[in-house]
Structure 1
Amino acid sequence: MTDTPRVELTPAAAGLVRRLRESHGPLMFHQSGGCCDGSAPMCYPDGEFRTGGSDVLLEALAVEGVEEAVPFWMSSAQYEVWRHTRLIVDVVEGRGSGFSLEAPEGVRFLIRSRLL
């Protein structure tokens, strides 16, 4: 087993998480599996997206300036495909699809990955 985190935030993504936390309270991520949302990490108020037995908690992200860790979830089927990767959450300009909290900001979260 490695100590390498399964998920990390770029400095830009961490800054956006801090701003969203100030506006919306505790947060969570769920890695979308496709369809309408593409394969984007979706950010919600914590608990707004219902997770269950078919989801895997990949990481509880510690963000400087945010009291509670931000859980990052993924469906178990998608995890089977991505389990050998380290996910790096970044933010880029442009509006994504879906109901992720950053949409009104004119930016969207994006996943970059590295093989473990």
Structure 2
Amino acid sequence: MTRSDKIPDRVTATDAAIALIGKLKSIHGPLMFHQSGGCCDGSAPMCFPDGEFKTGDQDVLLGEIDGSPFYMGRAQFEYWRHTQLIIDVVDGRGGMFSLEGPEGKRFLTRSRVFSDAEWQALKTAEEKEPIDS
């Protein structure tokens, strides 16, 4: 938890994902992530050079992983609102436009349901500062 002692992050990353992000940053510079919830590649987290993927009103900024912003399509967010996303990495080929592909790796989203206390803390925080802002 980085936003405060009591408010959980909506998105985190495993050590393996952080290591791959570091490698990709050394090659491509600052990064960003987007997960749309569409079919095929769109349902996986996609990694781009920061600013290369144009976000809009239909996207929600969930937080950052290793200093890289992580966006999710609004419809997908509504489905996953009650869960913390945990970005991991596995061997294999993922999205053809995602930067990790040539490394023989792909990012993968795991999740866990927020506890009742975490969910209440998030709801209270979002009453003060909506996630859409």
Q: TM-score, normalised by structure 2?
A: 0.78
Other-structure match for 1:92:
90
Provide the rounded CA distance (Å) in 2 between the counterparts of 1:39 and 1:76. Answer: 13
Amino acid at match of 1:51: T
Other-structure match for 1:14:
18
Provide the rounded CA distance (Å) in 1 between the counterparts of 2:20 and 2:34. Answer: 16
- What is the aligned-residue identity percentage? 63
The partner residue of 1:60 within 61, 64, 70 is: 64
Other-structure match for 2:54:
50
Mapped contact 2:9–2:84 kept (Cα < 8 A): yes
Judging by fraction of residues, say which structure has more helix. Answer: 2
The DSSP-based 3-state class of the residue aligned with 1:43 is strand
Provide the rounded CA distance (Å) in 1 between the counterparts of 2:41 and 2:47. Answer: 12
Amino acid at match of 1:91: V
Q: Which runs of 5+ in 1 are unaligned?
A: 64-68
Judging by fraction of residues, say which structure has more strand. Answer: 1
Structure 1, residues 8-32: CA drift from partner, whole Å, max 9, x if none?
Answer: 0100000000000000000000013
Number of aligned residue pairs: give it: 110
User: Once the 2 structures are TM-superposed, how far is the Cα of residue 97 of structure 1 from its aligned partner?
Assistant: 2.7
2:33 maps to 1:35: no
Q: TM-score, normalised by structure 1?
A: 0.89
The DSSP-based 3-state class of the residue aligned with 1:4 is coil
Provide the rounded CA distance (Å) in 1 between the counterparts of 2:36 and 2:91. Answer: 19
Other-structure match for 2:3:
none
Amino acid at match of 1:113: S
Look at both structures and tell me which one has the larger radius of gyration over its CA atoms.
Answer: 2
Amino acid at match of 2:30: P
* Bigger mean CA deviation after superposition, 26-35 or 71-80: 26-35
Provide the rounded CA distance (Å) in 2 between the counterparts of 1:94 and 1:32. Answer: 20
2:102 maps to 1:107: no
Mapped contact 2:35–2:42 kept (Cα < 8 A): no
Other-structure match for 1:66:
none
